[in-house]
Amino acid sequence: MLAHLGQGQVEPAKPPAQLRKAGSTQIIAIGISTGGPDALRVVFSQLDADLKVPIVVVQHMPPGFTNEFAKSLDRICPLEVKEAEDGDAIQPGRILIAQGNKHLEVEKKSFSSVVRLSDTPLVSGHRPSADVLFASVAMAYQNNSLGVIMTGMGRDGAQQLGTIYKEGGMTLGQDEASSVVYGMPRVAHELGHVMEQVPLQKMARRICEIAKTSR
């Protein structure tokens, strides 16, 4: 049960029990919506050029816009950024952006990992859905994942970010002050699924620090 602290403030629920300790970060998953394009420009322009952990992103955006959006990010990011295509390899130094109107999931194999796109029904009111992405990342990578939930209306991603947490992965949420809409990260925080709230201007640094820490 959530305890109300005052107007607009809610005490987070008790975090879920973790099944295992956090391991080294092998994948970073980001879920983001309203205010996301500008926020991702800030984060991606500040990422370390030597970041070796692949990143997969669900940004709520209509079909037909994500290809150009990915290209615009690629121009300012030291890493490769591209719109995801079905079967694209998940590899170091690469950021894959979900296509508009396509769910994105990860598939981990013995020697390589790929993304899978699908037209399955909307989840949490969206396709692509951050909940779908986070659930697949938690299943495939368990405690070797980092989930990040950022500015956005509604609650997409909040529930399944908790699955990453339960599996032993790390989780970050954008803080209220720097969010255009403190919806998705607020719900995740109130559910107890966010380990640490981070301002937008410090998000890239925190992502890189976690990704480069040996555990």
Instruction: List active site positions.
Output: 33, 60, 156
Q: Strand pairing partners for 168?
A: none
Residue pair 129/156 in contact (Cβ under 8 Å)? The answer is yes
Measured between alpha carbons, how far is 24 from 146 in angstroms, rounded to an integer?
9
Residue pair 195/207 in contact (Cβ under 8 Å)? The answer is no
Measured between alpha carbons, how far is 24 from 33 in angstroms, rounded to an integer?
27
Residue pair 6/155 in contact (Cβ under 8 Å)? The answer is no
Measured between alpha carbons, how far is 51 from 28 in angstroms, rounded to an integer?
11
161: left (phi over 0), alpha (psi -120 to 50) or beta: alpha
